[in-house]
Amino acid sequence: MIKNKKFNGKRLQIARIYRGKTIVELAKDIGVSKQAISQFENGLTSPQFDTLMNIVDTLKFPREYFFQEDKIDIRLGNTYFRAHAKMTKKDENKQKEKVKFIGKLYNFLNEYIEFPELNIPEFEEKMSIEDKAIKLREYWELGEEPVKDIVYILEKNGIIVTSMNMESEEIDAFTQQQIIDNKKNFIIVLGSDKGSATRRQFSAAHELAHIIMHDGFINLEELTNEEIRNMENDAHTFAAAFLLPRNAFIKDVSLYPTNLEYYKQLKKKWRTSISAMLVRANHLGVLSYNSYQNMMKKMSKLGWRKEEPLDDSLIMSKPTVLKRAVNILIDNDILNPNEILMELSNRELSLPAEEIENLLGLDKGTLTLKHDEISNKIIEISVKK
C-alpha cells in the first residue's frame, strides 16, 4: 500500500544502478531530462504518475518499491571481483547492488530457516599462503583429497553462495562481506553463464581466498594498482594451493609432468583446469619454467587455451542452500510463493518474482503463483430443485 507515502529518490537511484543505466540513459528511456532524474533521486521533486509508470516499465521494479524505506541495518564491506581489466564501473556498481539484495533476502529467509553457521578458523598474520590453504583443509577435514564439490563445501561452512547471470562478459565471480543486524555474512556470487566447471571451481576458490586473506573493510580506493594486482595474485595462489594440495599433487604430477595427455587424466581427478595445473606444477618446482612455457605453447597450438578437453563433460554442482530454503517454506506450507512476496513487501522489499529467482538461483517459476493454488478454489453450485 503506497497511499500517503513519499516517493523515495534513493530507491530510484538503486534501481537505476541495478539495471546498469546512467542518469542520461534513464532520462532518454522515459522521456525526461537528466536534470529531472537527478532531482527525483535527490528528493527535490517527485515524478508525475505517467513518468512514474514509465520508470516502473523501464526499470522493471514494482511501483511499491519506490515508496518504501530501507529499514534493514546493513553494513557493506568490499566487493572483490574476479574480473577482466575491461570491467566498467557501471558493471561493478550494478553487481554491488545485486549482492546487497541477496544479503537482504538471506536475512529474511534466516527468520524461518536454520542456516549453517559460519565456520572459518583464525589465521596468523605471518602464515604463508600455502600454510593457510593447508590449515583450512585440515580445519574443514578435507585431507589431501580432490575437492569434488567446492560449492557444497562452502555452503556447509556457512558461506552464502548463489549463481546468477552476470549479464557481463567481464565478470566471472565476486564476493562481498556484509554485516546485517551485527551478524557477519560472506556472499560468493558465481556467474551461471561463465563456462566450464573447472573455471567456476577455480573462481569459487579464488573468492574463498579473498574471504580468508583480505580485509573485508579495507578502503580499496586507497590502494595502488600494484597492490590490487598483488591481492589478485595472492588469491590465485591460494586457490591453486587449496584445490591442488602440495604433497598429493606433487605425487601425481611428477609421474609425467610434461605429458599433456596425462594432464587430461589429472583434470578428471582434481577438477582443475590443465592450465592451472601447469602453473601450479611450475610453482612447486616439478615443472621448470622453460618446460612450462613449452607446454603452454603446445596448449595454444591445440586450441586448449580457449577450450580444454573435458570442458564440455565435467559438471559442477549449483548452489543449493538458498534454493532449498525457499522450497522448504513452500513445500511445508509455511509460506506459499505469493505469501513470500507479500512478506518481503511488508519488510519494505518489493521485488519482481523473476528477480528474486535470479538472485537466489531458484528454478524459473518457483515464486509464480501456481495454477493449482488458484484452480483448487471451487465455488460449489448445483442444479435448482
Residue position matching grid coordinates 529518490: 9
Q: Look at residue 3 in the predicted model and tell me its pLDDT.
A: 60
Q: Look at residue 206 in the predicted model and tell me its pLDDT.
A: 95
Q: Look at residue 208 in the predicted model and tell me its pLDDT.
A: 97
Q: Helix or strand or coil: residue 178?
A: strand
The one-letter amino acid code at 171 reads: I
pLDDT > 70: percent of the chain:
93
Q: Look at residue 193 in the predicted model and tell me its pLDDT.
A: 63
pLDDT digits (tens, 9 = 90+) for 19-40: 999 999 999 999 999 999 999 9
Q: Look at residue 83 in the predicted model and tell me its pLDDT.
A: 63
- Please, are residues 281 and 246 in contact by the beta-carbon 8 Å criterion? no
- Please, are residues 155 and 319 in contact by the beta-carbon 8 Å criterion? yes
Q: Going from the N-terminus, what domains does the chain have, and what CATH number goes with each?
A: 9-67 (1.10.260.40), 74-243 (no CATH)
The one-letter amino acid code at 15 reads: A
Longest dimension (CA), the chain: 97
Query: Would you say residue 256 has pLDDT above 80?
Result: yes
- Please, are residues 235 and 281 in contact by the beta-carbon 8 Å criterion? no
Count CB atoms within 10 A of the CB of residue 165.
10
pLDDT digits (tens, 9 = 90+) for 150-179: 999 999 999 999 988 777 777 888 999 999
Identify the weakest region by mean pLDDT among 46-50, 76-80, 176-180: 76-80
Cell readout for 54 is 514509465
Residue, of 206 and 218, whose pLDDT is higher: 206
Q: Look at residue 84 in the predicted model and tell me its pLDDT.
A: 57
Q: Name residue 185's beta-bridge partners.
A: 178
Q: Look at residue 375 in the predicted model and tell me its pLDDT.
A: 46
Q: Could you tell me the pTM of the whole model? A: 0.89
Q: Look at residue 235 in the predicted model and tell me its pLDDT.
A: 95
Task: Work out the average pLDDT over 196-210.
Answer: 93
Residue, of 92 and 58, whose pLDDT is higher: 58
Q: Helix or strand or coil: residue 382?
A: coil
Q: Look at residue 82 in the predicted model and tell me its pLDDT.
A: 73
For 51-57, which contacts have Cβ atoms below 8 Å and span 24 or more sequence positions? 52/7, 54/29, 54/30, 55/12, 55/15, 55/26, 55/30
Residue position matching grid coordinates 497511499: 3
Which ranges in the chain belong to alpha helices (H)?
A: 9-18, 23-30, 34-41, 49-59, 89-109, 129-139, 150-156, 197-213, 225-243, 246-253, 260-270, 274-283, 289-301, 321-331, 337-346, 353-360, 371-375
Residue, of 316 and 145, whose pLDDT is higher: 145
